[in-house]
Structure 1
Amino acid sequence: MKQMEENELSVIKEDVMKALEEVYDLEIGFDIVSLGLVYGVDIQDGKDVRIKMTLTTPMCPLAGLMTEDARRKVSEIEGIGDVKIELTFDPPWTPEMASDDVRKILGM
């Protein structure tokens, strides 16, 4: 039974990450997962989602837009309950956190 619950949570977490891949930092033009802005996803009670993420800079003018877009896209997943997003700047984002593909395209 416990293994099945872990598998179900794994599938839900995978769905959440796929949804977050559809959220873009419009200033840079890449999704927040590829940029390394998602620090963690926690599934509680099998349906409530807590996302810990950052931004490329604390002064990002699109902060509200990106976090709301992330919350909305994850909320649209069937069976998802409450979605909360925690913004953190610890550790601060650095370009090294982005995927290899993003760093290559940006010439880093």
Structure 2
Amino acid sequence: MDERIDKIIASLKEVYDPEIPVNVYDLGMVYSVDVDENDTANVLMTLTAPNCPAADMIVSDVEFMTKKVDGVEDCKVEITFDPPWDKSMMSEEARLELGFM
């Protein structure tokens, strides 16, 4: 596996949904991360709700933090709602943090 992906994931753990005190990765909002032959990171993710008022800010933060990783020249974020996000997608740590265990 490309070590940049691990570094991207670590960076995404610094991006928070402003309404929830857990990072987007542990919330289960990031479905996939890859880096193509042009050193462009492709992040497939969702939002906790289709009408999320912080959507633009979250996407911007994901792009910014991903581009900070050495060896990543660009970042493309694709938002999908298939499958729609639900609480079962959260990491165990996130569920503990939010009291869902």
Q: TM-score range with shorter-chain normalisation?
A: over 0.9
Query: TM-score, with normalisation over the residues of structure 2?
Result: 0.93
Larger Rg: 1
Give the alignment partner of residue 82 of structure 1, picking from 49, 66, 74: 74
- How many residues are paired up? 100
Task: Spell out structure 1 runs of 4+ moving beyond 4 A.
Answer: none
Query: TM-score, with normalisation over the residues of structure 1?
Result: 0.87
Structure with bigger helix share is 1
Give the alignment partner of residue 101 of structure 1, picking from 89, 93, 97: 93
Give the alignment partner of residue 27 of structure 1, picking from 19, 24, 47: 19
Over aligned residues, Cα RMSD in angstroms?
A: 1.1
**1:1-108, aligned counterparts within 5 Å?**
6=1, 9=2, 11-45=3-37, 47-108=39-100
Identity of aligned residues (%): 37
CA deviation vs aligned residue, 1:35-77 (integer Å, no higher than 9, x gap):
0000000110162110000010001100000000010011111
CA distance in 1, matches of 2:99, 2:23: 17
CA distance in 2, matches of 1:52, 1:61: 19
Question: RCO greater where, 1 or 2, for CA within 8 Å and sep 6 or more?
Answer: 2
**Which deviates more, 91-100 or 39-48?**
39-48
Amino acid at match of 1:13: I
CA deviation vs aligned residue, 1:11-36 (integer Å, no higher than 9, x gap):
11001101111100110111001100
Structure 1: gaps spanning 5 or more residues: 1-5
Amino acid at match of 2:43: I
